[in-house]
Amino acid sequence: MLKLIMGLKGSGKTKLFIELVNAALEEENGDIVCIEKGKRLTYDIPHDVRLVETEDYGISGFDFLKGFISGLRAGNYDITHIFIDSVLRLIGEKIGSEAENFFDWCEAFGEREGLRFTMMVSADTSEATERIRKYL
């Protein structure tokens, strides 16, 4: 399952994202991972959530991110939920077919592996294509 939180700056995305991380920690019986660029969520995310800072790993591009997510899962089958903060900003991409393909891959990978994904996208919802809208 994939859920996207999409909106412009100041629309409340980060507050909702943090609330969803906390809810997952309370409701799910597995490990929670939060991937971010920079360390802006360090004090907002509970210490029980594995916070991964992408600059430590040189993550760039959707293919690299897919491999990184696959590696996280291969190393820990107890992960039940992966949160990604500002996924497009994280790898320097814009909404387009590559983003659509990545979101579809996450949905399929999550179904196959029993993982949930929640991602934040900093863009106006009017930019969402039909393929992306199904995840909002």
Residues 45-74 have pLDDT tens digits of: 999 999 999 988 988 899 999 999 999 999
CB burial of residue 22 (10 Å; 0-12, 13-18, 19+): middle
Q: 118 pairs with which residues across the strands?
A: 3, 83
CB burial of residue 104 (10 Å; 0-12, 13-18, 19+): middle
Cα separation, 85 vs 112, in Å, equals 23
Q: Is residue 102 within 8 Å of residue 74, measured between CB atoms?
A: no
Name the residue range of residue 111's domain. 2-133
Hey, how many other C-beta atoms are within 10 angstroms of the C-beta on 120?
Answer: 23
- What confidence category does residue 12 fall into, taking pLDDT thresholds of 50, 70 and 90? very high
Residue 40 belongs to domain with CATH number: 3.40.50.300
pLDDT at 40: 87
Q: Over the stretch 32-44, which tens digit does the pLDDT of each residue have?
A: 999 999 888 998 9
- How many structural domains compose the chain? 1
